[in-house]
Amino acid sequence: MAAFLGALKKLSICLILWLNTLPFLQGGSDYYEFKYPFIKRASSFWASSSSFSSSNTDEASYDYIIVGGGTAGCPLAATLSQNFSVLVLERGGVPFSNVNVSFLSNFHIALADTSPTSASQPFVSTDGVINARARVLGGGTCINAGFYTRANSGFIRRVGWDERLVNESYPWVEKQIIHQPKLAQWQGAFKDSLLDVGVSPYNGFTYDHIHGTKVGGTLFDRFGRRHTAAELLASANPKMLTVLVYATVQKVLFDQTGRRPMAMGVIFKDENGNQHQAFLTNNRRSEVILSCGAIGTPQMLMLSGIGPKAELNKLNISMVLRNEFVGKGMADNPMNSVFVPTNRPVEQSLIQTVGITKMGVYIESSSGFGQSQDSIRCHHGILSAEIGQLSTIPPKQRTPEAIQAFIKRKRDLPHEAFKGGFILEKIARPISTGHLNLVNTNIDDNPSVTFNYFHHPHDLQRCVNGIRMAAKVIQSKHFTNFTRCDKPTVEKLLNMSVKANINLIPKHTNDTKSLEQFCKDTVITIWHYHGGCHVGKVVDPDLKVLGTNRLRIVDGSTFNESPGTNPQGTVLMMGRYMGVKILRRRLGKAAHV
C-alpha cells in the first residue's frame, strides 16, 4: 500500500507539472495573447497604435517609450503604465512558448542556440572570452542561472538611492516571480564544504547580501520552470501599455532646434524589415528611456549621435551631442572555475548556495549539466566540461569560421568528459575596466567590447586567493564523501579545469603551476558586465542623459559595480524603483504608488 501511495503521489506531481506547463507547449502564443493582450508583433504597429495619440497629430504618440523589454524594462513599463501611456520596443520574441527558456533542464541549450531568433545572442570580447547578451522579452532573466539576491546596503548608499523606496521595490518583484529553491544534494555538500573551510556563519535562506554562506532565491519554481521579468507585465494597466516584440530600435530621434537636443521618439524596424517611427507626446516630461543593457545602451547612444567624437566620425554618424565617456569604463566580473570530478550520477543544479567572503571573492557552484547526450553538442559557458582549446590559433586568426570549426570538433568528445560539476569563484568589484566601440552602424551586430580582465594586479591576487579557496572546498570531506572521489591534488584539479574551461585564450605550459597564469588563461564570464554610461559622466543622479532633454537610461550600464553576488535582483528592483520615483515626482500623492 505504501508503495502504491508513493507512486500515486509521484503521478500527481507529474500531472500538476504537465498541467502547469501545457500552455507553454501547446501553441504558447494563445496563452500569452490571452494573459498579455498588449503584446503584439512589431508589424502590427500602425494597426494597433491609434489608441494613443497627441491632440495635434495623427501619428501615435506615447508618454514613455522604453527601448528594451528586459530585466529593468519590464518592471519599469508595468509601473509607468499605471498612470501613463507606455510603448515598449523589444528586439526579441516572447519567452513563454520557448521550452529552452522555460525549463531549468534546458538552460545550457538556450545559451548554445546561436540562431538569429535565439533568446541568447553570443559575442566574444576582444579578450577572447565567450559571452552572451539577451534577445528576448524579459531580457537576462530568460537565459541566466536564475540566482536571486539583493545588493548590499553599501551599494545602495553609493548610488544614492532612497533606501525606503528600495526596500519597497524589492518585495514587489519577489512576490511575483522569486522562489525559495529546493536545495539539490550537490548544493548541500557545497554548503557544508564552504562552512568547513571557514566561510561562515551560515545565514540560511535569505535574499540579503551578508558575509558567510547562504542559500539565495531563484527564478525557478519547484517544477523547474523559469519565471522571468516578462511576467511582471501582468501587473501593468493593459489599457495603457503596448509591447511590441521583434521591434528593433535603430536610433533615437532628436529635436535639435533648442539649446539642448530633445528626444522626440525612435525609429525601429519590424520582423519583416519595415521601418516605423514612434513619437513622444508634446509634454515636456515625456521620455524615451533606454533599457538596452550594458552592451546595447552605449551602442544605441552612439548610433543615435551621442558619444565620443572620433567614434562617431569614423562611421559618419551625425553628431547630436559629444560625450567622450559613452562606452568607457566597461567592466565584467572575472570568473574562474575548478572542475569537480565525481564517480556518481549528479543531478542538474544551477547556483543556489553562495559563499560571500571578506576578501572580495564570491564562491558558487553548479552541477550535472553534462548528463544528457544533447550536452555534448553544445558550448554552454560556465557549465561546460568540453575539452580542447583554440590555443593553436593566434588571436587575430580567430575568425567566426575558426570558432565554428572548433565547436564542430567537440562532437567527437567522450560522454565521460561531461560528468561532475564546477566550483566557481568570482571577483567582486573589479578595478580593471575596458571600453566599447562600434564596429559598424548595424544595430543587429555586436559592438566590440574589451574588459581587460586582470589588468589590475589587485584583481589577479584576489583570483589567486579565490582559486585556493575553491580547491579547499573541493577537497573538503563533505565533497569527497558526496562525489565518492579521492581527495585530488590541487595540480590535478587545475589540469582538469584548464582542459574543461571554454574561452579563446591560448594556454600556457605553466598554467597549473602558476595560479596567476591559471587565472589569466581560464577566465570566463558569468554575464555580470556593466558600465559604459556612468552616473556623473553620461547620466545625472536621476539617470537622465547629460546635455539632453527627455532621455533617460535605466539599466546596468549606469553601474560602477555589479550589485550583490548576482545583479539581476537589483536590476529588477531598479525598474520598479525608477518607475515609482518618476510617477511620484510627476504626480505626487496622486500617483498612488
Tens digit of each residue's pLDDT (9 = 90 or more) over 37-83: 999 999 999 744 444 444 334 457 999 999 999 999 999 999 999 99
User: Could you tell me the residue range of the domain that residue 587 belongs to?
Assistant: 37-45+59-179+224-330+438-447+529-592
Domain count, the chain: 2
* Same-domain status, 461 and 489: yes
pLDDT of res. 6 = 52
* Same-domain status, 513 and 566: no
Is 237 part of any domain?
A: yes
User: Could you report the per-residue pLDDT of 186-200, keeping only the tens digit for each?
Assistant: 999 999 999 999 999
Q: Where are the beta strands (DSSP E) in 82-161?
A: 86-90, 120-124, 130-134, 147-148
Is 18 part of any domain?
A: no
Is 480 part of any domain?
A: yes
Is 21 part of any domain?
A: no
Which residues, 6+ apart, have CB-to-CB distance to 395 below 8 Å?
Answer: 128, 504, 506
pLDDT of res. 415 = 45
User: Could you report the per-residue pLDDT of 93-141, keeping only the tens digit for each?
Assistant: 999 988 888 888 888 778 777 788 889 998 889 998 888 999 999 999 9
User: Could you report the per-residue pLDDT of 521-567, keeping only the tens digit for each?
Assistant: 889 999 999 999 999 999 999 999 999 999 999 999 999 999 999 99
* Same-domain status, 199 and 279: no
Q: What is the CATH number of the domain that holds 417?
A: 3.30.410.40
pLDDT of res. 385 = 36
Is 321 part of any domain?
A: yes
pLDDT of res. 58 = 40
Q: What distance in Å separates the CA atoms of residue 288 and residue 279, rounded to the nearest whole number?
A: 9
* Same-domain status, 414 and 285: no
* Same-domain status, 299 and 376: no
Percent share of the chain, pLDDT over 90: 66
Query: 297-319 burial, b for 16+ CB within 10 Å, e for fewer?
Result: bbbbbbbbbbbbeebbeeeebee
Average pLDDT of 428-448?
97
Q: What distance in Å separates the CA atoms of residue 43 and residue 268, rounded to the nearest whole number?
A: 10
Is 31 part of any domain?
A: no
528 labelled catalytic: yes
- Which 3 state secondary structure label does DSSP give 272? coil
Of the listed 528, 530, 534, 592, which one is catalytic?
528
* Same-domain status, 286 and 422: no
- Going by C-alpha positions, the residue among 102, 137, 136 that lies closest to residue 119 is 136
* Same-domain status, 270 and 150: yes
User: Could you report the per-residue pLDDT of 192-225, keeping only the tens digit for each?
Assistant: 999 999 999 999 999 999 999 999 999 999 999 9
Q: How far is Cα of residue 409 from the mean position of the Cα atoms in its chain?
A: 29
pLDDT of res. 416 = 42
* Same-domain status, 323 and 380: no
Mean model confidence pLDDT for the chain: 86
Domain boundary, last residue among 496, 522, 548: 522
Is 89 part of any domain?
A: yes
Average pLDDT of 235-239?
96
Average pLDDT of 494-516?
71
Average pLDDT of 232-237?
97
Domain boundary, last residue among 468, 494, 522: 522
Q: Which residues fall in the annotated binding site for FAD? A: 90-91, 136, 249, 527-528, 556, 567-568
Domain boundary, last residue among 522, 543, 559: 522
* Same-domain status, 357 and 265: no
Helical packing angle, 163-177 and 568-587, nearest 10°: 120
What amino acid occupies position 546? L
**Predicted confidence band at 85 (pLDDT cuts at 50, 70, 90)?**
very high
pLDDT of res. 388 = 37
pLDDT reading at 492 higher than 90: no
Q: What is the CATH number of the domain that holds 543?
A: 3.50.50.60
pLDDT of res. 368 = 77
pLDDT of res. 53 = 44
* Same-domain status, 317 and 461: no
* Same-domain status, 196 and 275: no
pLDDT reading at 257 higher than 60: yes
Is 8 part of any domain?
A: no
* Same-domain status, 361 and 284: no
Residue 214: phi and psi, rounded to 5, are -150, 165
